Amino acid sequence: MTPTPRTEGNSGRRGFNWAEGIWSQLGNYEVLGSRPWSDLAHLEIFPGTPLSAHTWIMPGSYLPAGASQRESFRSLTPRTREHSEINELHPQDESLCRALLALSLPRRTLTGIRTIGPSTWLARARQSIKLGRCIVEHFPDREEGLWSHLDRDEWSAIIGMTASAEYRRQTLSLIIDLAAYGERGLLSDFPNIRRAPHQHRRPTQTSEPSRRGERKKEATQKKPKSQTEPFSDEFVTAVLGRAIWLQDNLAAQVIDCWAELREHAAVAARSGRTTSNPRTIEERRFIIASFPWKDADGRPLTELPWEVKVGRKREITAVWPPRDATSINVMVGIIQALNFCTLSFCDGARSSENLDVDDNSVSPEDPERPNARTFKYEPLPGGTYRDWPLHPRAIKALEIQQKIAKVIRPEEGTHLWMLLVDGAEPAGSPLRNATEPIVEAIKKLGLTALSGPKRPHAHRWRHTIARLIALCVAAAPQVLMDLFGHRDLEITLHYILSNPSIAEEVQRIAEEIAYALAEEAIVDVEAGRAGGQAAEPLRSGLNGLKMRRGQEELGAETMAEAIAILTFNGRLWASVREGVLCTKGLGQFGPCTRGSGAPDPGNCDTGCDHRLELARAKADCLRALRGLLRDRDQASTAGADLQVAYFDGQILAQLKRWPDVRNQIMAESPVARAIWDGRRSSHDL
């Protein structure tokens, strides 16, 4: 029977898969391998692209914004001979086309039937074509098929020649999948990696031994992965500091001047003068010099707070305004790159997701939550939309980017990020690669050294966010999963631990925080301001320590000793929430875990013997009680008895925290007194 495909995106919804059009034409998948090629050749793998076509071009709408939109990225030539004629289809080419078709079909996994996304299919299709061409090159005498004639040793040799050590696992996975499709009947020619080797069968060397695998290995060793290294604090501060200053002082003026210069160039061109004409150059210089440059406070702007490399001679200067139009063009490029950096720092999105942000993404009614398409875990053509909460600085960056777009973008366009000069595509076309403009802007701002030995790749902002959140937030993995749109915690942990130094830094900061919180807690306990079940035992212990030291108050040395003992040198005393500490030690029992395991902050109980509350938590307790009483009153008025019972439990838990807060609330609210007295009468305190 033909399996029913199931398509799952980030939202878990069903939808039209990119390859579903051809699925519906295939009939029973289990006999696909035995069907003649004449029945399949006319079927369209993509709209307008039959399987027999010499070149397959995937529609751009199937792929995320960025480099994958280029036609060269979306094009495949499914031929085993690289320079084959357009109408030539060798039997081995047929086997290759059938394999690519099979890779687009739903597959059975341990968790059900799953589909493959367009980007992943393209990557596996390229690897399949590479495998096929390598087989034909090294086994030119084999005409019985493309895949099935190779034995175990020959497959090992082919994998070594087509994939570096880093990618051999993916290549082996591809071969195993093709074998599985063959066993299901989808292919008649498929790999058999279990076939015993034949001594007389060895790859035929048509020329000198191939070093492709070795060269790839060397390239991998020489070119470290730059996109996984988070930016340093110094780099982030310098880049965003310049971005903020430009947003507040210069960006709008530079864009207005740039627009005027472009308009003047168009007028000069209509009169037959180019931008290199001496008269045009002087007129453009006059426009720049006469422009009313002012800072945010309305003062004349004659100098930048930092140097920048501008002009045709690439002069490093802080003087403003510049002398030539080239410098204005350079500054517009810097502004666009810093806008992208600001957005990436604030939303932590992938480059393709930020490149997809356009005029339609930002709603005037809700500018703080723009939406864009994500493709990473979405097999549907066109991806799926999600939104990101934005800081006002990122919103301002998008507003500035819209002004840039209006100057150079074609009238029918809606994209925000664009090519600013003519290149492979004309100026005003969508930007395909965000990294190169960022690298160039960082170089012109003189900040390349701060980015470290690796390039300031756009994806490094995502790892920077992971590092900062991991250092600052106790529940960092869950926060990052939500922000990054991950399904699997393992992927999120990869970002947090992408650099070994992050784990060390997290541990160091956690110990410092534990030390600082312990010192604050001890001071509150000594002064009688702390709350929670752990406050009184801790007060007794501190009094005993002072008696042994003959001190009325803890000195600096005794305080340090007490903190080290109580927190086990900073490894204990976790922060449960603002102003609340867990003092549970190694091997101690607690209600949050029903045993002696590590504390579970999400299940903290106000009656736990290890709970210690700092003085600053008292105000939060008072606000929480008043809010709960209001919510209970509304639920009672609405007759929602279950909600009332729920609020009663929450109010009672808060009343246990601070005696003086409890007395104040009970004096204000008869309901609170009734809840407390009712609890006491049940002897369940």
Query: Where are any strands of DSSP class E within 607-671?
Result: 611-613
Q: What are phi and psi of 576, to 5 degrees?
A: -75, -50
Question: Which pair of tokens denotes residue 94?
Answer: 């047929």
Tell me the pLDDT band of 307, cut-offs 50, 70 and 90.
Answer: very high
Long-range contacts of 29-32 (CB under 8 A, 24+ apart): 29/2, 29/3, 29/105, 29/184, 29/185, 29/186, 30/1, 30/2, 30/184, 30/185, 30/186, 31/185, 32/102, 32/185, 32/186, 32/187
The model's pLDDT over 483-506, given as tens digits with 9 standing for 90+, comes to: 667 666 566 666 665 666 655 666
Angle between helices 460-472 and 325-347 (to 10 degrees): 40
Length of the chain: 685
Cα separation, 284 vs 262, whole angstroms? 9
Note the pLDDT of residue 83.
61
Residue 379 scores a pLDDT above 70? no
Question: Which pair of tokens denotes residue 17?
Answer: 């898969």
Long-range contacts of 100-103 (CB under 8 A, 24+ apart): 100/45, 100/76, 100/125, 100/128, 101/22, 101/40, 101/45, 101/51, 102/32, 102/178, 102/181, 102/186, 102/187, 103/128, 103/174, 103/177, 103/178, 103/181
The model's pLDDT over 628-644, given as tens digits with 9 standing for 90+, comes to: 999 999 989 988 888 88
Query: Where are any strands of DSSP class E within 26-179?
Result: 44-46, 49-50, 56-57, 75-76, 107-109, 112-114
In the chain, the N- to C-terminal Cα span, in Å, equals: 64
Note the pLDDT of residue 200.
46
Cβ atoms 79, 100 nearer than 8 A: no
- Check residues 370 and 215 and name the one with the higher pLDDT: 370
Mean pLDDT to the nearest integer, 582-594? 72
Cα separation, 192 vs 178, whole angstroms? 9
Cα separation, 82 vs 653, whole angstroms? 73
In whole angstroms, how far apart are CA 477 and each of 10, 68, 374, 481, 597?
18, 29, 20, 6, 20
Tell me the pLDDT band of 598, cut-offs 50, 70 and 90.
Answer: low
The model's pLDDT over 415-465, given as tens digits with 9 standing for 90+, comes to: 999 999 887 789 999 998 999 999 999 999 999 999 988 889 998 988 888
Tell me the pLDDT band of 81, cut-offs 50, 70 and 90.
Answer: confident
- pTM: predicted TM-score of the whole model, two decimal places: 0.60
Note the pLDDT of residue 230.
86
- Check residues 342 and 233 and name the one with the higher pLDDT: 342
Which of the listed ranges 138-147, 184-193, 227-236, 251-260 does the model predict with the highest average pLDDT? 251-260
Cα separation, 71 vs 49, whole angstroms? 14
Residue 322 scores a pLDDT above 50? yes
Cβ atoms 301, 248 nearer than 8 A: no
Cα separation, 451 vs 438, whole angstroms? 11
Cβ atoms 317, 310 nearer than 8 A: yes
Residue 349 scores a pLDDT above 50? yes
